[in-house]
């Protein structure tokens, strides 16, 4: 597993722009699922519709940020990767807090969805922050 994580970090260190695309598309998917699927069937997931709306709005902001970075940045990736990495980490903390607050009303599928989302975003946070650190140390010099 260490080899695949290292190769993933190496890949995105050479192509940090692609990491913003991955993050932006993931945030778009999260926004879509939360707003258009889970919110309309909130009874099956156990999370209140208004909470799902707020979480989807955060996902939309992250999507716009990451896609803007993808299309507009030409270099100097490190601070922007740190911003989205830390923001995604805070989203994971918020989601965990919401899970704790609504744990008694969550269904198994709702709990599974949010735990999977936290794991996937947590993996992305790790990659983003490691890539930002590699770029900061200028191990890879590119534009």
Residue 19 CA from chain centroid, whole number: 11
List helix spans (H) across the chain. Answer: 2-14, 16-32, 42-45, 49-72, 78-101, 108-136
Q: What is the pLDDT of residue 31?
A: 98
Mean pLDDT for each 10-residue chunk of the chain (143 residues)? 78 94 98 96 95 98 98 93 98 98 97 98 97 81 48
Give residue limits of the domains in the chain. Answer: 2-136
CB 84 within 8 A of CB 66: yes
Q: What is the pLDDT of residue 143?
A: 45
Q: What is the pLDDT of residue 6?
A: 85
Q: What is the pLDDT of residue 5?
A: 82
What are φ and ψ of residue 46, in 5° steps? 85, 5
Three-state helix/strand/coil letters over 85-114: HHHHHHHHHHHHHHHHHCHHHCCHHHHHHH
Report d(CA 134, CA 131) in Å as an integer.
Answer: 5
Closest CA to 63 of 26, 116, 10: 26
CB 121 within 8 A of CB 55: no
Q: What is the pLDDT of residue 137?
A: 85
Look up tokens 């290292």; give the residue.
Answer: 6
């Amino acid at each position: 597993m260490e080899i695949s994580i290292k190769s993933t970090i190496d890949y995105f260190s050479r192509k940090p722009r692609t990491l913003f695309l991955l993050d932006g598309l993931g945030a778009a998917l999260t926004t879509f699922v939360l707003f258009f699927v889970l919110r309309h069937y909130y009874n099956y997931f156990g999370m209140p519709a208004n909470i799902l709306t707020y979480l989807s709005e955060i996902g939309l902001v992250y999507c716009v940020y990451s896609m803007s970075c993808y299309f507009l940045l030409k270099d100097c990736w490190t601070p922007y990767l740190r911003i989205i990495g830390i923001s995604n980490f805070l989203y994971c903390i918020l989601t965990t807090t919401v899970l704790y607050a609504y744990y008694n009303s969550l269904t198994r599928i709702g709990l599974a969805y949010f735990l999977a989302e936290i794991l996937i975003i947590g993996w992305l946070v790790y990659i983003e922050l490691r890539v930002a650190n590699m770029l900061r140390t200028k191990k890879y010099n590119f534009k």
